[in-house]
Each structure stands twice: as C-alpha cells, then as structure tokens.
C-alpha cells in the first residue's frame, strides 16, 4: 500500500534513538543532512578526518534496504569544512520503483527531522529536458512537478502525522530562496570551468519509474514546464517541507532526454533513411544506466566542492 505508516513518528524516533546511541557527543547534533544521489556518493569524501561514524542501512532498524547497483546504502556522520560542522550524509536512497512504499522512501528524511536536522540538501542524477542544458551541468531546483503525486502516489497520503506537520502543507515555496542565493554565490566563488559545466535553476519532474521516458513523454514533460526529469527527490522534499525542514536540491544532468519523435511507420523522413542513419537517429540520447553513473563520476567533484562551499557559507552566519 502507499499509505503513510500510522506510527511513522514512533518508528522514526526509535531509529533516531538507535542512531544517537552510536554517535559520539561531537556528532550528535547535525543541523544539515545531505542525500547523495546515484553516483554522487563521492560527497562522502568531503568529510574531514576526525570523528566519523558509518552506519550501513542494513544495521539500522526500520530503514529500507536499497537494492539498485551503484546505490550502496549507508548513513555517515562526520564533520565538514574548517569549521568542523557536524553533518549527516545519506549515501544511497530508497526509490519507489524498487518496490518500497512511499513511507519507506521518505523514512530517512523523517529520521533526520527527529535528529534535529534543519536543512536538507538533496542531490540526484536526472535527465535533461531543457534544450540549453548539457550533460554534466548542475541544476539547482527551484520547483517541481509531483506527477506521481497527482495520481495518488504521495508520501503524505493517509492519516496525517501531526508530530511532523499539518494536513495540507503548502509546497509553493518548497525550494528555499536564501539557500538558492547562496548556491549562486558559492558557484561564483569557486570559479569552476564554465566550458565544462554550467549551473542552472530549473523545475524537476518526478516520475515513479523504473522505465525511462518515451520521446512523446519527454515532449509532454517539456511542455509542462519541466527542465529535468528523474525518479527520486520529490517524495523526500515533500516530507521535509511537511516537517518544516529547509530544502536545497540539485540535479546533475547525466543524459539529455530525446525530444525528437522516433520512427513512425508513416514518417517519410524516417522511411528515406538507410539502416545506419536510422540506427544513429534512434540511438541518440537514449538514456541508459551506465551513462548516468559515468556522468555522475565526472561531475561529483564539482558538486562536492559546491556543497562544501555552501556549508561553509551557512556556517558563517
Ligand atoms: N535519471 C537519470 N536520467 C534519467 C532520465 N532520463 N529519466 C528519469 N530518471 C533519470
């Protein structure tokens, strides 16, 4: 079922207690949590030498067990930056397409809330729909289309968990403006190579997956105003906003979605192509999991630097 667990608060508290029992005093109060998307686990390297605790998901009570290749699951607690800011990193996440309920997909977010996290930075690998984007670009999300939510696949469906938030939480300003401003400031400060990678602000469309979009679906999503498309992030953000956590989210563009129509039996252009022209035409931009992981590996370092710079900026306040 897709219903929220009626005891979600008690279960998240139980898990938080377990986690706290494993942490030294210096790591007990992370104010920031960072969710690392596919291939973005390298963010864990930004953790400084010093106190550090790694808890594999399979050792944490009530936690979903992740199943996808390249999505190793562990909760890491450590400190980041010269200021030694305590942070919680979620390396690997549960996706709805794996068969988890929305309740489990968003469970870690709720554990973060109980731990006292005030700001969550969510990252993901996504397909680019905006024609101005290129593979390797970073998109700071400024809004989303919760398409799965439209059809009832929604993490807040079911009795409202009052301990976390209200029945009808607003989502109109889910992506914190102050944090987004800091992103642009941090980007300029880092002076990253603009030829290699650019930063944009855009709208993320959430699909349940696991199949990638058809060409017609890509065109539809673009018409609806989406700049990137992916299979994660939005459930966590909805639950975070419900619980009053500030949200910052990034997509790494790992492939460009195909907007051109594919072969249609009655299309004279397609009919005129020879086999190799047709193979090239149809192969262009087809999303595959390997490509997604590869782009992630290359861009992870810049994304890491960006997140670290933002954290340092946050700490200065
Ligand atoms: N994740 C990475 N690329 C994607 C795409 N094109 N569609 C959905 N999820 C994705």
Tens of pLDDT, residue by residue over 97-142, are 988 899 999 999 999 999 999 999 999 989 999 999 988 899 999 9
Cβ(129) to ligand 1 under 6 A? no
Could you count the other beta carbons within 10 Å of the beta carbon of residue 99?
11
Confidence band (pLDDT; 50, 70, 90) for 84? confident
Mean pLDDT, range 183-211, rounded to an integer: 89
In this predicted structure, the answer to whether residue 27 has a pLDDT above a threshold of 60 is yes
In this predicted structure, the answer to whether residue 1 has a pLDDT above a threshold of 60 is no
Q: What is d(CA 282, CA 276) in angstroms, rounded to the nearest whole number?
A: 10
113's CB contacts (< 8 A; 6+ apart) are: 12, 164, 240, 243, 245
In this predicted structure, the answer to whether residue 50 has a pLDDT above a threshold of 90 is no
Q: Given the CA of residue 231, which atom of ligand 1 is nearest to it?
A: 9
- State the pLDDT at residue 209: 87
Q: Is 82 a catalytic residue?
A: no
- State the pLDDT at residue 70: 46
Q: What is d(CA 117, CA 101) in angstroms, rounded to the nearest whole number?
A: 23
Q: Which of 98, 108, 124, 200 is catalytic?
A: 98
Cβ(127) to ligand 1 under 6 A? yes
Q: Given the CA of residue 213, which atom of ligand 1 is nearest to it?
A: 7
For residue 225 the two structure tokens come to 């105003």
Q: What is d(CA 162, CA 60) in angstroms, rounded to the nearest whole number?
A: 24
Question: What is residue 253's DSSP assignment?
Answer: E
Q: Given the CA of residue 212, which atom of ligand 1 is nearest to it?
A: 7
Mean pLDDT, range 54-61, rounded to an integer: 90
- State the pLDDT at residue 164: 96
Average pLDDT, the chain: 86
Nearest residue (by CA) to ligand 1, atom 9, is 230
Q: Is 71 a catalytic residue?
A: yes
Tell me: the pLDDT tens digits for 236-262? Answer: 999 999 999 999 999 999 888 876 666
Tell me: the pLDDT tens digits for 211-220? Answer: 999 989 999 9
Q: Which of 95, 144, 154, 242 is catalytic?
A: 95
- State the pLDDT at residue 197: 84
pTM of structure:
0.87
Cβ(258) to ligand 1 under 6 A? no
Q: Which of 62, 97, 201, 315 is catalytic?
A: 97
Nearest residue (by CA) to ligand 1, atom 5, is 127
- Tell which one of 133, 206, 230 to mutate to probe ligand 1, the residue whose CB is within 8 A of the most ligand atoms: 230
Confidence band (pLDDT; 50, 70, 90) for 42? confident
Percent of the chain clearing pLDDT 70 (strictly above): 84
Q: Which of 8, 12, 57, 71 is catalytic?
A: 71
Q: Is 240 a catalytic residue?
A: no
In this predicted structure, the answer to whether residue 313 has a pLDDT above a threshold of 70 is yes
- State the pLDDT at residue 285: 54
In this predicted structure, the answer to whether residue 264 has a pLDDT above a threshold of 60 is no
Q: What is d(CA 201, CA 138) in angstroms, rounded to the nearest whole number?
A: 9
Q: Is 7 a catalytic residue?
A: no
In this predicted structure, the answer to whether residue 20 has a pLDDT above a threshold of 90 is yes
Task: State ipTM.
Answer: 0.95
Q: Given the CA of residue 124, which atom of ligand 1 is nearest to it?
A: 1
Q: Is 315 a catalytic residue?
A: no
Q: What is d(CA 77, CA 54) in angstroms, rounded to the nearest whole number?
A: 6
């Amino acid at each position: 079922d897709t219903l929220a667990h009626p005891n979600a608060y008690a279960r998240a508290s139980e898990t938080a207690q377990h986690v706290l029992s494993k942490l030294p005093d210096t790591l007990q109060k992370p104010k920031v949590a960072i969710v690392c998307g596919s291939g973005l686990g390298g963010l864990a390297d930004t953790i400084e030498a010093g106190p550090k605790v790694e808890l594999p998901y399979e050792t944490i009570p009530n936690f979903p067990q992740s199943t996808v290749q390249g999505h190793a699951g562990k909760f890491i607690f450590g400190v980041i930056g010269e200021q030694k800011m305590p942070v919680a990193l979620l390396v690997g996440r549960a996706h709805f397409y794996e068969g988890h309920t929305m309740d489990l997909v968003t469970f870690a977010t709720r554990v973060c809330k109980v731990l006292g996290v005030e700001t969550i930075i969510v990252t993901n690998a996504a397909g680019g729909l905006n024609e101005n984007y290129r593979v390797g670009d970073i998109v700071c999300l400024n809004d989303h289309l919760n398409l799965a939510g439209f059809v009832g696949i929604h993490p807040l469906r079911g009795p409202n968990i009052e301990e976390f938030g209200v029945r009808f939480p607003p989502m109109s300003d889910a992506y914190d403006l102050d944090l987004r401003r800091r992103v642009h400031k941090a980007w300029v400060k880092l002076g990253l190579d603009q030829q290699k990678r650019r930063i944009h602000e855009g709208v993320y469309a959430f699909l349940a997956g696991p199949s990638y979009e058809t060409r017609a679906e890509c065109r539809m999503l673009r018409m609806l105003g989406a700049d990137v498309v992916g299979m994660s992030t939005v459930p966590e953000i909805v639950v975070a906003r419900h619980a009053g956590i500030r949200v910052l989210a990034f997509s790494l563009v790992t492939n460009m979605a195909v907007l051109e129509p594919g072969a249609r039996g009655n299309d004279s252009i397609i009919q005129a192509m020879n086999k190799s022209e047709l193979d090239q035409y149809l192969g262009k931009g087809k999303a595959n999991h390997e490509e997604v992981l590869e782009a992630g590996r290359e861009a992870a370092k810049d994304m890491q630097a960006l997140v670290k710079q933002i954290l340092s900026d946050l700490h200065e306040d």
